[in-house]
Amino acid sequence: MKLYDTLSAEKRDFEPTDGKTVKMYVCGVTPYDVGHIGHCMTYLTFDVLNRYCQYLGWRVKYVQNVTDIDDDIVRKAGEVGSEWDQLGDRYTRHFVEDLSALNVLWPQVFPRASEEIDMIIDINEKLIAEGYAYEADGNVYFRVAADEDYGALGKYTNQQMVDFSRERGADPDDPRKENPLDFIMWQAWQPGEPFWESPWGRGRPGWHIECTAMSMRYLGETIDIHGGGSDLIYPHHECEIAQAQHFSGSEPFTRFWMHIGMVEYQGEKMSKSLGNLVLARDVLHYHTPDALRLYLHSHHYRTPWEYIDGGPALYEGLASLLKEAVHVSNPGGDNAVDPAPYTERMRAALDDDLNTPDAVVVLEDMATAIVRASGNNGEFTEAQEELRTLARLLGVMAWRG
């Protein structure tokens, strides 16, 4: 299997470090509002990767976090008059319900940032002691000047990184910073906000340190795959690398960085801030989960694309065809459907950086062959069973009931 790695900017052969267990961390939701189709694209892509790695015979230790303490959660809780943790619980349930309806295999570990404070404080303390971070007025900042590789993941110019920092929640104009790109790892308490006690006074963790702590706690100093949306390349994942590698002293922090292209809607990136959201639960009022999954997987994960309202409807026919193919009666004739070529094509597609659009075509061709054979003195018991197996790789539920 080859996977595209953002850091090296190339497709490379992939197998787990120990040849047995894939250690995979995917940045999860910040549960301050409803999830949308863009989120589904991300988590269903890693669901396919999880399934395929297991199909290849590897174990997968999959960690997906919940960023349940964050500036956005604090802000939204204040706006709606809710406690921050109750707000997070509500929207985490919403997220779990939506993805469960789409037949995801849930990660083995589903940690919350608010439960990892001790590890977060430990990382801050060590980085301060070694000169990679500094405290100012109860805030702790990472000193990017101490990391000569900072910026290698995104490959942006200094000015681009400053601009992205401003757009994506940081404050490059903070006068307490030594450098506009220094990023906050612990932020001092403000009245009305939740807080934890720390060596620097009351406060709460910064965004980037949360994922660093959770990935290292549950997967160790070096992980095989780290994933998320492409909008996380900078600053989030860039900052994770800096913190993790200087805390542990081990390189690389992540062997493969995988990023999902943005999903647009009506000409703009689908996002909570713009309010142009398409919600999975709304789509599932009108379309089957199989049709929605097939529609999403008909786009390659690294390519930005635009969601069309009638898109899932285009795949209802294929969803019905797959269901018919796995349940149609086998006449047991002489014209056998050989599953081997379809299996070979499916593996070739998924081996090529999760080429799910080609994988969808394989399912359609195989189902068509089976249905045709059912009316033409066919024999396809083995092919039917293999179709069920291959459909499961894309999370398609046609084999059920």
**Reported confidence tier of residue 397, pLDDT bands at 50, 70, 90:** confident
Peptide bond preceding 252 in cis form (omega within 30 of 0) = yes
pLDDT value at residue 309: 94
Does domain 2-268 sit in CATH 3.40.50.720?
Answer: no
Report yes or no: 396 and 382 within 8 Å, Cβ to Cβ.
no
Rounded mean pLDDT, 217-221: 96
Rounded mean pLDDT, 217-240: 96
Q: How far apart are CA 111 and CA 28, in angstroms?
A: 10
Task: Just give the CATH number of 310-393.
Answer: 1.20.120.640
pLDDT value at residue 398: 67
Q: What is the chain's length?
A: 401
- 8 pLDDT above the threshold of 90: yes
User: Quick one: what percent of the chain has pLDDT higher than 90?
Assistant: 90
Rounded mean pLDDT, 225-252: 96
Specify the range with the lowest mean pLDDT, choosing from 152-156, 371-375, 395-399: 395-399
Rounded mean pLDDT, 386-396: 97
* Residues 6 or more apart whose Cβ sits within 8 Å of residue 304: 230, 261, 262, 263, 264
Q: How far apart are CA 17 and CA 59, in angstroms?
A: 12
Report yes or no: 179 and 102 within 8 Å, Cβ to Cβ.
no
Work out the number of other CB atoms within 10 angstroms of the CB of residue 139: 20
Q: How far apart are CA 222 and CA 249, in angstroms?
A: 10
Rounded mean pLDDT, 232-244: 96
pLDDT value at residue 401: 47
Rounded mean pLDDT, 290-304: 98
pLDDT value at residue 296: 98
Q: How far apart are CA 175 and CA 178, in angstroms?
A: 8
Report yes or no: 227 and 258 within 8 Å, Cβ to Cβ.
yes
pLDDT value at residue 170: 86
pLDDT digit string, tens, across residues 105-137 = 999 999 999 999 999 999 999 999 999 999 999
- 349 pLDDT above the threshold of 60: yes
pLDDT digit string, tens, across residues 272-283 = 777 788 999 999
pLDDT value at residue 377: 78
Looking at every residue in the chain, the average pLDDT score rounds to: 94
- 361 pLDDT above the threshold of 50: yes
- 338 pLDDT above the threshold of 60: yes
Q: How far apart are CA 113 and CA 129, in angstroms?
A: 23
pLDDT value at residue 259: 98
- 329 pLDDT above the threshold of 90: no
**Reported confidence tier of residue 400, pLDDT bands at 50, 70, 90:** low
pLDDT digit string, tens, across residues 50-77 = 999 999 999 999 999 999 999 999 999 9
Q: How far apart are CA 386 and CA 322, in angstroms?
A: 12
- 81 pLDDT above the threshold of 80: yes
pLDDT value at residue 342: 98
From-to residues of CATH 1.20.120.640 in the chain: 310-393
- 313 pLDDT above the threshold of 90: yes
pLDDT value at residue 270: 84
Question: pTM score, two decimals?
Answer: 0.96
- Beta partners for 186? 140, 205
From-to residues of CATH 3.40.50.620 in the chain: 2-268
Q: State the residue for tokens 């713009």.
A: 274
pLDDT value at residue 17: 95
Nearest 5 degrees, angle CA 227-CA 231-CA 235? 90
Q: State the residue for tokens 């109750």.
A: 86
Burial of 400 (0-12, 13-18, 19+ CB in 10 A): exposed
